[in-house]
Structure 1
């Protein structure tokens, strides 16, 4: 498990334990007309979504009523994909245990043809440490940045199972132990091997994007940018307190311009770098915006506009811990994108 990104467990669902319906199926909330109109005003190259879909607090916003986390994890994806603004989802489950071709194919069968998955690579490839359940590192991971393993247990099954519904493969490199940061150039060279190997996905899914997200600013060197360029990969803008502010990361994207935009808006900086649990406890049951961040939405909307203006795809997924309620964050970002487009049309 990633030390700074613990898995959301059933505690959020237990808030409603005495209200849960008995039915196993999951129904979609009926979207209001304003949502449909907003979705229709967005660029076709843009796909917005959230980090997973198993949250009971989204009742009457994404779901037609209250369901348990277990019901949503197993059967919520088709209903999630009915939301007018959700054209993508971050599939993070494979980070903890690699998924099979059949598992990926099962997800693909549940969503429309236009839907895309952002898939997170397994920790076995992207974490330098083997960790305990609580996230504490206990030993060095011998498979860290193993190119053959990255293809065999991640890129190959994801591309085969998801097919055209694969949007982006995201290699989120977990925080590195201090002794490794002194040799970041050697690690970047190993990352290059991984990225060149997994570009084979293009033979299966030509539009698929390969992106790298990091948790240590020491990665952000000219060599890192060169490796991304040479391998045909891009930088995943990871909005997380461990990294510089979004505006300070934009020079990396400018050096890769023009190209796809991949962003995972993970955690509000007010909670600090090690406080996913604090954010979860503050925002649960994730049914309203608590800490709106219009400055970040403004930056993202402008990057999206610049990306799609060059015919490039943009994928943005948002965590509940960004502002308190991911569906409302998606709506607010969509409104910012629409407003920016309207101003551009008038100019």
Structure 2
């Protein structure tokens, strides 16, 4: 494969935007009564009828592409994903039954595992709500991927002796997810929290520990080679050849983390080039206009998360080109989006899907 052809997978140049690009689909018609004044429903959750408008678009997407959200329990998606008003607790428990029927939503990121490990039975409960084609992206608990033990306020207290511990990673993360999700497990994400200077100034030590953990993880997945192992960073100083070498040596990939703590997408793509050929794993979590610590500001601006309020055409365009190139070469792509990326994850997914579809070869 030529370098020119390979570079096109991780596009540095964008085609001019098509007319109307970046505009969310029209809001579905529905009850004139505002959702905020309607009493949330109880019981099973159903898919919004308006979701069917995306069937034709879904059919134009690459088979290897899976789009989804980071966390699914948002009442503000009424009319987009949910057929009516539900409270967040009902959606957290039963929302996946409706969510997975949306034509564009073929994966979801289970973020809550970062804060507290889940049991195999809890994972199995998620798996029971979706069909056989659905796949989960799951984050490793911070107790394994954070080099520091933190207070409830998130402040570092002391070094974490369990940081990147191979045995704990397998026993408390890999094994429960495999047992509970089975063939519906798609990606295991190991998100390394910001490192203290003592480790950041000794990257070889970090990569050595990471390599030993990844080796144990890959061994535990020996009978499940289809499961993707991805490493996400919060320290741009670690981006470089040593990271790529460590990941490649242990059959892992780099997770594009799109938010203010990491460089923009175009500055992260060289890592994917260094790992080529390989899959795409991307988590688009926060619009860069809010900065590295802008989640509270983003939430304040975007609530109740039912419309695009912070559009980012630049990131969407580059991500669409990257998806098209990687899936066009037969590699899988998992992309999950947060409400904090543009204001409404389902609408961001629809816009990204259209951008990818526009790049597909015409028959």
The answer as to 2:204 corresponding to 1:185 is yes
Asked if structure 2 preserves the Cα contact closer than 8 Å seen for 1:211 and 1:236, the reply is yes
Give deviations 1:15-56, integer Å, cap 9, x for gaps: 977533242321211135430000111111000000010101
Give the equivalent residue in structure 2 for 1:287: 306
Q: Name which of 285, 304, 310 aligns with 2:323.
A: 304
Instruction: Give the Cα separation in 1 of the matches to 2:306 and 2:41.
Output: 22
Asked if structure 1 preserves the Cα contact closer than 8 Å seen for 2:140 and 2:173, the reply is yes
Q: What is the Cα deviation at residue 163 of structure 1?
A: 1.0
Q: What is the Cα deviation at residue 204 of structure 1?
A: 3.5
Moved more, 90-99 or 135-144: 135-144
The answer as to 2:280 corresponding to 1:271 is no
Instruction: Give the Cα separation in 1 of the matches to 2:228 and 2:35.
Output: 38
The answer as to 2:106 corresponding to 1:87 is yes
Q: Where does the alignment leave 5 or more consecutive residues of structure 1 unmatched?
A: 1-14
Q: What is the Cα deviation at residue 205 of structure 1?
A: 2.3
1:230–1:30 distance in 2 versus 1, CA, 3 Å? same
TM-score by length of 1: 0.92
The answer as to 2:281 corresponding to 1:235 is no
Q: How many residues align?
A: 330
Q: What is the Cα deviation at residue 130 of structure 1?
A: 1.5
The answer as to 2:355 corresponding to 1:345 is no
Moved more, 95-104 or 200-209: 200-209
3-state DSSP class of the match of 2:123?
A: helix
The answer as to 2:189 corresponding to 1:170 is yes
Q: Where does the alignment leave 5 or more consecutive residues of structure 2 unmatched?
A: 1-33
RMSD over equivalenced CA pairs, Å: 1.5
Give the equivalent residue in structure 2 for 1:4: none
Asked if structure 1 preserves the Cα contact closer than 8 Å seen for 2:136 and 2:184, the reply is yes
Instruction: Give the Cα separation in 2 of the matches to 1:188 and 1:32.
Output: 44
Instruction: Give the Cα separation in 2 of the matches to 1:281 and 1:204.
Output: 45
Asked if structure 1 preserves the Cα contact closer than 8 Å seen for 2:41 and 2:87, the reply is no
Asked if structure 2 preserves the Cα contact closer than 8 Å seen for 1:163 and 1:204, the reply is no
The answer as to 2:62 corresponding to 1:39 is no
3-state DSSP class of the match of 1:203?
A: coil
Instruction: Give the Cα separation in 2 of the matches to 1:166 and 1:22.
Output: 30
Instruction: Give the Cα separation in 2 of the matches to 1:70 and 1:33.
Output: 25
Which residues of 2 match residues 126-205 of structure 1 at below 5 A? 126-205=145-224
Moved more, 61-70 or 124-133: 124-133
Asked if structure 2 preserves the Cα contact closer than 8 Å seen for 1:163 and 1:205, the reply is no
Asked if structure 2 preserves the Cα contact closer than 8 Å seen for 1:127 and 1:144, the reply is yes
Give the equivalent residue in structure 2 for 1:217: 236
Instruction: Give the Cα separation in 1 of the matches to 2:220 and 2:139.
Output: 15
Asked if structure 2 preserves the Cα contact closer than 8 Å seen for 1:159 and 1:201, the reply is no
Q: What is the Cα deviation at residue 311 of structure 1?
A: 1.3
Give the equivalent residue in structure 2 for 1:58: 77
